[in-house]
Structure 1
């Protein structure tokens, strides 16, 4: 099998549990370090799927790699190659496919409940799961691209995930590990302390019962990732 391409946009926002999942399922992958100056490839031909991770930038920023990434997403969708996006990655997918990315009414940072709507497409991805506690770390959000279906919502963000056939774009972070959570909290300590919003938790709140929370989230990620890899070329 050709490797899955994983696009990283910040050193501390790597693939996390998704890489562990691929390794456990003996699926090769290649990390493309956009943050280190590596350019996106011009073609999707050498890969079996495309995965875009998070990052602090906006998809609306004038950065040279954004246009290239949007082009790759469109290529993949046209050629029925599965695309997966986490947070910024989901926003890249939405924009590439005609959606709009803009500021969310509030920042969402920390753990928060998300709800799975009761319709067939959501059930295909989540099975009998109706709610779960996900991790959030965003200030912008996407609208649904044409043909996509919302399969996850939260109190503070209507579109937490969308499905478009085999393609999955997420606003929330299901790829988290304990290390990722602690690293993000460390880097954003001042911001977390300065934001007085119900949608933003303190570091103590975020790191409370962290091993149990991460394990539960990994279980949800397994469901989503298992369905996604079924379509790898």
Structure 2
């Protein structure tokens, strides 16, 4: 009997990317849910939950009620330490569900750069990302939840990843994205945000050409290591 992986998506082109094949290879049946549209199951039921990124914020619940609904849905799952992976907005929702603050940064962090791994990070699946530029695309950041380990930082953001035991992993950056031609959808879809942040898409495209293939390999290795570390 296959395991189930619920994939909660907020934006069509911010999908599983390079992570999809790895999760399926590990024996999971993918169940896709569109935020704000599809009803979510009992939060304890899926064997794995992956909460993906998006352009809205954890604190935008008044304008986008799905933010509040998703945060509250995650609370019992995280309390039970059921396997859960969050990427960017997904990690922020997890942090908020665990009682941590999520707030705007002084300046958006958009572009490729390497992570500085903490001591816990060096001994975590993130070791596969050491010295590999990853794609950052966020204007808000989470505090590290009580009881969690801070795994990584950058000059722009001191809290790039957190883990709570082997089953809870939140990533502020995007290890699943950044390879062309799929990354072109990000540049087109987020064109207004890029212009507002004074970020040149031509430069991002060049960075994706240079770093996208190595990020794909390293990101998939990181995910395989995390999945293999989950309790049977």
Q: TM-score range by the shorter chain?
A: 0.7 to 0.9
CA contact (8 A) 1:107 1:139 kept: yes
CA contact (8 A) 2:115 2:131 kept: yes
Q: 1:154 to 1:121 in 2, by over 3 A?
A: closer
CA contact (8 A) 2:4 2:28 kept: yes
TM norm structure 1: 0.87
Indicate whether 1:10 and 2:11 are aligned: yes
Distance 2:128 2:34 in 1: 36
CA contact (8 A) 2:71 2:93 kept: yes
TM norm structure 2: 0.88
Distance 1:98 1:209 in 2: 35
Q: 1:32 to 1:129 in 2, by over 3 A?
A: closer
CA contact (8 A) 1:70 1:92 kept: yes
CA contact (8 A) 1:39 1:65 kept: no
Aligned residues: 226
Distance 2:41 2:92 in 1: 20
Q: Deviations over 1:13-61 (max 9, x none)?
A: 11111112223334221111125x112224322x101110001111111
Structure 1: gaps (5+ residues): none
Q: 1:157 to 1:72 in 2, by over 3 A?
A: same
1:229 aligned residue (221, 227, 230)? 227
The 3-state SS of whatever aligns with 1:28 is strand
CA contact (8 A) 1:135 1:173 kept: yes
Q: CA RMSD in A?
A: 2.1
Structure 2: gaps (5+ residues): none
Indicate whether 1:52 and 2:57 are aligned: no
Q: 1:128 to 1:88 in 2, by over 3 A?
A: closer
CA drift of 1:128 comes to 7.1
